Amino acid sequence: MIITNAKYFKSYGLDTNDIVNATINGVPMSVPMDTANSHYAEILKQVADGDITIAEAD
Amino acid sequence: MGDSLMAKVKITGHASGTGVITVTAPNTSTDRTLTLPDSTGTILDNTSTLDATKLSGNLPAISAASLTNVPLRPNASPLIINGAMQVAQRGTSHSHANSNTNAFTVDRLNINTGSIGEYTSTQESLTSGAAFEAGFKNAARIDCTTADASPASGDYFYAEYKIEAQDCSSFKKGTSAAETMTVAFWVKSNKTGTGQLNVRDTDNNRMCSGTYVISVANTWEHKVINIAADTTGAIADDNGIGYLFEFWLGSGTAYSSGTAPTAWETRVGSDRNGNGTLNINDNTANDWAITGLQVEVGTYTAATLPPFQHRSYGEELALCQRYWSQSATLSGLTGAFVFTAFNTNEAWGGNHFPVTMRATPTVTIYNNGGTSGGCHKLGSPDVTGVSAGTISTTGVAQITKSSGFTADDLYACTYTASAEL
């Protein structure tokens, strides 16, 4: 899974980030920070492996 | 007067009757005594009616194993979703690049390729053959489009089905009462050979395998594989992966130098395709297709296997939508979500998925032209640089853009939502 342009996003009314917006295999996706979400699990793995970093939210 | 010995006693008919009633002794060396009832009446014959008052008492114990011609149905409902390969929400064809994991054509059955050729997967309509005759109108089919006859050691190629963990409890895995499992399916390939099926428990990193032989090329064959019970390693009661089924189609030696385990073991990479010889990757003439996938609690043969339970298409679609849903089409705004801009960077709407999803899904939104990462401003051109926010298992409430929305204007987008395991 090729993940690029990963960036945190905080939905309205929340105190913490809840989404990682990223381009996955060439498609822009909004990935909720739910550990049961397979895309988020892969993002965490690639971060842990040092393959990607996630930019801070605006 | 002493006993009289005779083989038969003949009694002439009563009153005006002329027939002779013959009582014949059996050919036996053991004494038998028949006692006539001490009352007036007629002994039952094949036209008599039994008096219900004479049927009191307990029936003898009956073993289910002794019953024949009784349909067996051990599971309350089928464990496999879309086993008849009816539902293909993403479309009926998908191209699989050289390395493409978790890619779907028919719902719930994904293909994993790791540097081992390229493929097209399709939902194939069946109009003849044994699987069709058995009631299946669709199959999941994989065709090799770019061959790799000499895969590197770590290359892999398999189809995969995952059952959600909290749906696996009937197998009682990890307890002393653990149940065996039977996996059955129809399969067809242009190649003959041995295919390997692995059942994996990812919670405990364990696996057990079975093999099947494709005996006749280009012919649907029904396969039934028994999997041992596993008293080690309980599966969690959650929405993660429970059992994972791997149908290996080709690999390098890192996955094929071992032996398929018929007892549960800690997963060994080299065993995962240890007995597989199909190598669908080795020629562009190759194909492999499957339908009628069913998983039962218990051990069955082809003769005793419970019949495949066909659900209605609507039921099957709704079950699939727990893992994936999308607008009717991704371009043209058919089935679009609609949002009203609150300010220049937020638009809000109460947009719901068809069913509650397994986990908070990954959402991609599309504009009127079907391009991802955008939406359509009604009455105006498409808008780019848009993403989804405030996502839950039930819907999407917000789309967002760094700037450029016009307050109170309407914006629409189609979507895909993925909560696949």
Nearest residue of chain A to residue B98 (CA atoms): A1
Which among B238, B346, B419 has the least Cβ separation from residue A37?
Answer: B419
Contact A36 B359 (CB under 8 A): yes
Which position has the token pair 């939905």? A11
Q: Does B265 touch chain A (CB under 8 A)?
A: no
Q: What is the mean pLDDT of residues B34-58?
A: 78
pLDDT of the residue at B16: 75
Cα B314 to chain center, whole Å? 16
Nearest residue of chain B to residue A38 (CA atoms): B421
Q: Cα distance from A28 to chain B (closest Cα, Å)?
A: 6
Contact A28 B364 (CB under 8 A): yes
Residues B248 and B209: their CA atoms lie apart, in Å, by 11
> For residue A41, which residues of chain B lie inside 8 Å, CB to CB?
none
pLDDT in tens, B162-195: 999 999 999 999 999 999 999 999 999 999 999 9
Q: What is the pTM of this model?
A: 0.85
Cα B227 to chain center, whole Å? 15
Contact B391 A27 (CB under 8 A): no
> For residue B364, which residues of chain A lie inside 8 Å, CB to CB?
27-30
Between B143 and B8, whose confidence is greater? B143
Which two structure tokens, joined as six digits, stand for B112? 């994993």
Q: Cα distance from A47 to chain B (closest Cα, Å)?
A: 18
Q: Does B129 touch chain A (CB under 8 A)?
A: no
Residues A47 and A35: their CA atoms lie apart, in Å, by 14
Nearest residue of chain A to residue B386 (CA atoms): A28
Does residue B68 surpass a pLDDT of 90? no
Cβ partners under 8 Å of residue B44, min gap 6: B50
> For residue B391, which residues of chain A lie inside 8 Å, CB to CB?
11, 18-19, 30, 32
Q: Does B372 touch chain A (CB under 8 A)?
A: yes
Contact B390 A27 (CB under 8 A): no
Q: Cα distance from B372 to chain A (closest Cα, Å)?
A: 6
Backbone torsions φ then ψ of B185, nearest 5 degrees: -170, 160
- Judged by average pLDDT, the poorest of B60-69, B117-126, B349-358 is B60-69
pLDDT in tens, B206-223: 999 999 999 999 999 999
pLDDT of the residue at B47: 81
pLDDT band at B73 (very low <50, low <70, confident <90, very high): low
Element at A46 (helix H, strand E): helix A38-48
Q: Cα distance from A31 to chain B (closest Cα, Å)?
A: 5
pLDDT in tens, B390-416: 999 999 999 999 999 999 999 999 999
Residues of A with CB under 8 A from a CB of B: 1, 9, 11-12, 18-19, 21, 24, 27-32, 34, 36-40, 58
Residues B144 and B283: their CA atoms lie apart, in Å, by 7
Size of interface A-B (CB pairs under 8 A): 66
Amino acid letter, A17: N
* Nearest partner of B353 among B333, B332, B325, judged by Cα: B325
Contact B362 A29 (CB under 8 A): yes
pLDDT in tens, A1-58: 899 999 999 998 899 999 999 999 999 999 999 999 999 999 999 999 999 999 999 8
Q: Does B266 touch chain A (CB under 8 A)?
A: no
Between B102 and B154, whose confidence is greater? B154
Element at A38 (helix H, strand E): helix A38-48
Residues B83 and B138: their CA atoms lie apart, in Å, by 10
pLDDT in tens, B222-269: 999 999 999 999 999 999 999 999 999 999 999 999 999 999 999 999
Which among A19, A38, A39 has the least Cβ separation from residue B389?
Answer: A19
pLDDT of the residue at B401: 95
Q: Does B363 touch chain A (CB under 8 A)?
A: yes
Between B63 and B161, whose confidence is greater? B161
> For residue B365, which residues of chain A lie inside 8 Å, CB to CB?
30
pLDDT of the residue at B248: 98
Residues B342 and B344: their CA atoms lie apart, in Å, by 7
Residues B338 and B413: their CA atoms lie apart, in Å, by 7
